Amino acid sequence: MRRLVPVPTEASVSVDFEGESVPARQGEPVAVSLLAAGHAVLSRSIKYHRPRGPFCLAAACSHCLMRVDGTPNLYACQVPARAGLQLQRQNSYPSAKVDVFHAIDWLFPGGLDHHAMFAGVPVAERVMVKVARHLAGLGLLPDGVPPQRQPPEVLQTPVAIAGGGAAGLAAAEVLSAAGVPFVLLEREEALGGRWRLGPPEAGAPATLTVGAQAGTVRLHTTVLGLYSDGRGRFLAAVATGRDAPRLLLVRAPRFLLALGGHAQLLPFIDNDLPGVFAGRAVSDLVRRRGVLPAEAPAVVGHGPELRGLVQLLTDAGARPALVLDTGPSPEAGALSGRVLEAHGRGRVQALSVEVSRRTKKKVSCDAVVLALPPTPAYEVACHAGAHTVFRPELGVFAVQADADGRTAAEGVYVAGDALGGTTAALAADSGRRAARALVREVAA
């Protein structure tokens, strides 16, 4: 783990990590600062107190929940670093590094059903309930009173777009060119999604723009769901950025949901060890943050992201210890097989795999990078009334839609990885098709 680019003096700050001063770059997520400083364990799991480190860097896995300046359960992968920020790991005793409750994991290798423990044994049952109540929950109450909530902001638009990745951005360009006003909500600090942060892909545009800006783009804005009330339907989102979080309601008759997908995890023993990373988290670390997460990673997965990640890591100076294609139709000449087990105390140190002809091998490595197509983010679409369908060729459930992205929910279109992740170019194509259909609807 090392920084590829030194932090410039004017951006250099220190955060307080349980009494230790950790150097950071102003504004980068504190999970990145801690990783760059060699801290792999940021939290402990709730029940078995297994060590947890960042996996997705996208507020989706909960492996990085920390107490920040007295507020519990914040995603360290989303908290910007600033001088003096107080970071504490939670859910452990006496410390997350050496947690005595980790013994639960050793004592119950087959799992522990605390609901059934000592049930029916009068005194023991009462003691067990007391212990379970004491151990349950995550974090302690905040130190201070939360800031007063601001009233929600309300916007009205003909078309609301959720997600500013390849699909949402391509759709915005089509709408802009046709002069159709829209509001686009993007969780990140900039548009582009994996074009900007993912493993480099062929056909990625050199620059990212939103055409003639017929629309309003809101960055740092996370979509929560698509709701309806007496005045119609609206996207509910939380806007963050520099100010305190504020609820944003975007009212519209038509919606394009281009929310991408979630990082997939392969099933293998100890796949939750710190040092197991989602591929897009790794490309984000290298491309945006200038941090190389491993010198000798095992890169496993399939599809275009596998090749792209190996190239990205190699160009950044890493020497992959293993490249394994786990897909159903591996490329000619690729080492193929499946992952069996990750090894290490507190973080990944080796990986066991089964390769062709049932040969097992154990490879020393300092990280495991899972380069897999994302699992479609269908939640908001289903919330709005769309249906899902199983895509056997991808092995995922995706939103069911026609060729233009039209779903079973009236006025709700879907584009990009939510239809089944393939390439950024195909995601952009689906965004353009949906936008053209929306242009026709608005004009009708």
Among 75, 234, 268, 378, binds ligand FES (CB under 6 A): 75
Nearer to ligand FES, 63 or 196 (CB): 63
CA distances (Å), origin 436, targets 162, 164, 166, 412, 431 = 17, 17, 16, 14, 9
Taking a C-beta distance cutoff of 8 angstroms, is the pair 401, 386 a contact?
Answer: yes
* Alpha carbon distance, N-terminus to C-terminus of the chain: 56
Shortest Cβ distance from residue 259 to ligand FES (Å)?
Answer: 16
Q: Does 219 bind ligand FES (CB under 6 A)?
A: no
Taking a C-beta distance cutoff of 8 angstroms, is the pair 415, 166 a contact?
Answer: no
Print the binding letters for residues 348-387 with ligand FES: x by CB under 6 A, - otherwise. ----------------------------------------
Q: Determine which helix (DSSP H) or strand (DSSP E) holds 342, and give its type and residue range.
A: strand 337-343
Which residue in 195, 159, 163 sits closest to 176, CA to CA? 159
Nearer to ligand FES, 285 or 434 (CB): 285
**Cα 342 from Cα 131, distance rounded (Å):** 32
Nearer to ligand FES, 210 or 342 (CB): 342
Shortest Cβ distance from residue 44 to ligand FES (Å)?
Answer: 14
Strand boundaries in 69-143, DSSP class E: 71-75, 86-88
The CB density around residue 13, as the number of other CB atoms within 10 Å, is: 18
CA distances (Å), origin 310, targets 56, 317, 425 = 18, 11, 20
Which residue in 179, 176, 150, 178 sits closest to 164, CA to CA? 176
**Cα 82 from Cα 78, distance rounded (Å):** 13
Shortest Cβ distance from residue 275 to ligand FES (Å)?
Answer: 13
Print the binding letters for residues 27-66 with ligand FES: x by CB under 6 A, - otherwise. ----x----------------------xxxx-xxxxxx--
Shortest Cβ distance from residue 68 to ligand FES (Å)?
Answer: 12
Nearer to ligand FES, 63 or 307 (CB): 63
Shortest Cβ distance from residue 282 to ligand FES (Å)?
Answer: 12
**Cα 186 from Cα 256, distance rounded (Å):** 13
Nearer to ligand FES, 60 or 178 (CB): 60
Nearer to ligand FES, 46 or 129 (CB): 46
Shortest Cβ distance from residue 71 to ligand FES (Å)?
Answer: 15
Length of the chain equals: 444
- Locate 3 and state its tokens: 């920084």
Which residue in 423, 424, 427 sits closest to 195, CA to CA? 424
Nearer to ligand FES, 57 or 183 (CB): 57
Shortest Cβ distance from residue 32 to ligand FES (Å)?
Answer: 10
Shortest Cβ distance from residue 443 to ligand FES (Å)?
Answer: 42
The CB density around residue 150, as the number of other CB atoms within 10 Å, is: 12
Nearer to ligand FES, 72 or 337 (CB): 72
List binders of ligand FES among 121-150 (CB under 6 A): none
Shortest Cβ distance from residue 222 to ligand FES (Å)?
Answer: 13
Nearer to ligand FES, 40 or 384 (CB): 40
**Cα 235 from Cα 226, distance rounded (Å):** 5
How many residues form the binding site for ligand FES (CB under 6 A)? Answer: 13
Nearer to ligand FES, 58 or 437 (CB): 58
Shortest Cβ distance from residue 61 to ligand FES (Å)?
Answer: 3
Dihedral (C-alpha) 377, 415, 302, 263: value to the nearest 10 degrees? Answer: -20
Which chain residues interact with ligand FES by CB under 6 A?
Answer: 31, 54-57, 59-64, 75, 77
